[in-house]
Structure 1
């Protein structure tokens, strides 16, 4: 039995949803997702600021009619994408945002770049979820797109 890591599972799930572009900014907690992107047909658009990733994903959604996808790391990067999340929510623009998070054992310990991303974004998203097991990623991504 082959074990798939979370990064590979995420990219495969996004491919299955027909994602062709991700707008993002790499950083510590999300770096494991960037290696599988190299072998994926998904195009990554590197941005200078997380808020830009969210707004670019919004523009993509508005111009293509397909959900825009943004990906950023944890902590301040996650809080930087709240404005585009709110804007997309208020305008009913389909936006899927993936953020990194500190390791599960570090949650609640005031670890470096830890924040309650789920709590912060609850009021500006249709659905959000903290995924703690790689095996759950395909189901969570499927739910995010439907």
Structure 2
């Protein structure tokens, strides 16, 4: 693909698209929904595709993250918490 000098300059000067500070992204919306449901704990194993969720969790202080060593452990812990307390368990 051949690009003209003007196209190259325009591409180099282009600003990356980003959401405005007032517009929440999907991860922030997810965390807000969890807060609205009264979630106090979230069990998980950070990495890969869920790192954006961890960024949103870092910006708030009402949901405590519990680090586990395996994804299945997160599910079992959240299930046990929900059964023992009657509160929402999230993994």
TM-score w.r.t. length of structure 2? 0.72
Q: Which runs of 4+ in 1 moved over 3 A?
A: none
**1:22 alignment counterpart:** 42
> How far off is 1:60 after superposition?
0.5
CA deviation vs aligned residue, 1:7-35 (integer Å, no higher than 9, x gap)? 11111110011000000011111110101
CA RMSD of aligned residues (A): 1.3
Q: Taking structure 1 as the reference length, what is the TM-score of the superposition?
A: 0.46
Separation in structure 2 between the aligned mates of residue 36 and residue 67 of structure 1, nearest angstrom: 19
* Alignment coverage as a number of residue pairs: 70
| Residue-by-residue CA offset, 1:37-58 (whole Å, 9 max, x unaligned) | 1122100000000000000001
Rg comparison, structure with higher value: 2
Gaps of at least 5 residues in structure 1 are 71-146
In the TM superposition, residue 67 of structure 1 has moved relative to its aligned partner by: 2.3
**What pairs up with 1:1-146 in 2 under 5 angstroms?**
2-40=22-60, 41-70=62-91
Task: Provide the rounded CA distance (Å) in 2 between the counterparts of 1:10 and 1:68.
Answer: 15
Local SS of the residue matching 1:56:
helix
